Amino acid sequence: MTTHGTNRRIPVSAAVIAALAGSLIMTSCGSSGHPAPSHSPTTAPAAVRGFDEAGVSTGTGDNFTPADWKIIRADGFTVFITDPIRWSSECAGNGCSRAVSGCTIDPSAVAQIQDAASAGLDIAVYTRNVNCLPAAITGLPPALREQLSFAVLDIEPGPGIPLTPTLIDRVTALGQTPVIYSYSAGWQAVMSGSTAFSSHPLMDGQTPGSGQPYPAPYPAGYPVLRPMPAPYGGWSGIAPIEQQQTNAAIHGSAGTISGRANAVDLDSVSASWLASLPHHS
């Protein structure tokens, strides 16, 4: 996924965050037929740690070992999102400028997903070429597919394939919860600002400070969900998933997974929304 920064940060109290998150989660999950359960602020955190990466499918790194996954889980990360399609089979050109229709599964990426699931993380898949998302789901072994928490349709100019109701239906027909990833400029460029999909959960990619060099520091209070800096596509308030930082190492009390090749995008994921999903780990 590509992240796009903004310097606009809006401080809010924990009570406001919880109230706004609950409102948005009910709107998003109600459309999929899986109503969000009620959660008291004292029984669940506002957000949990997650990260997304495409290092395996792009050939740039992130080849974590089973031992690494144990450290990642012990460091408090509970959600892993990756692209299991070979990059060269879904897009080509500088910045993924052209769509390619091969949609070939990368066995190494599947192994990463399996290792993450075995370590106890919730798992999800995404594709930059949204037409490849059904192949990303069906290309997983059946037992692993059943563990998917959600599936992400990446909407941005590279390769810039518009989202359609038919594609949403294909994902839901496979038993998966569709989540839309985008950012204000990307949604405008590809979808002309359409609000037709605002009932579906959003993974907001408007990352503050996205241009920081590796290793970028964790944002204050991570994981934390904040109001969207620039509403778009009918979404506003707090998205169920927010990219919080790019070019980050994974670290915590249990250890560090470092090295520029293993840089990841940090995500904050709504704990109550995640718990409401039918495939929640």
Assess if residue 3 is contained within a domain: no
Residue 258 has what pLDDT?
A: 87
Task: Give the three-state DSSP class for 56.
Answer: helix
Assess if residue 37 is contained within a domain: no
pTM of the model: 0.85
The number of folded domains in the chain is 1
Assess if residue 281 is contained within a domain: no
Domain boundaries, position 114? 14-32+42-276
Residue 208 has what pLDDT?
A: 79
Which among 160, 243, 248 is positioned nearest to 206, based on CA atoms? 243
Q: How many CB atoms lie within 10 A of CB 77?
A: 25
Which positions ≥6 away from 197 have C-beta within 8 Å?
163, 168, 180, 191, 233, 234
Assess if residue 214 is contained within a domain: yes
Residue 212 has what pLDDT?
A: 86
Angle at alpha carbon of residue 150, lines to 168 and 160, rounded to 5°: 50
Kindly give the confidence (pLDDT) of every residue in the chain, 281 residues in length, as a single tens digit, with 9 standing for 90 and above.
Answer: 864 433 222 233 333 333 333 333 323 333 333 333 333 333 334 999 999 999 999 999 999 999 999 999 999 999 999 999 999 999 999 989 999 999 999 999 999 999 999 999 999 999 999 999 999 999 999 999 999 999 999 999 999 999 999 999 999 999 999 999 999 999 999 999 999 999 999 999 998 777 789 999 999 999 999 999 999 999 999 999 999 999 999 999 999 998 999 999 999 999 999 999 998 76
Give the CATH number, domain containing residue 236.
3.20.20.80
Residue 281 has what pLDDT?
A: 64
Helix (H) or strand (E) holding 256: strand 255-257
Which positions ≥6 away from 251 have C-beta within 8 Å?
75, 257, 258
Residue 209 has what pLDDT?
A: 73
Assess if residue 166 is contained within a domain: yes
Assess if residue 266 is contained within a domain: yes
Residue 243 structure tokens:
């990219």
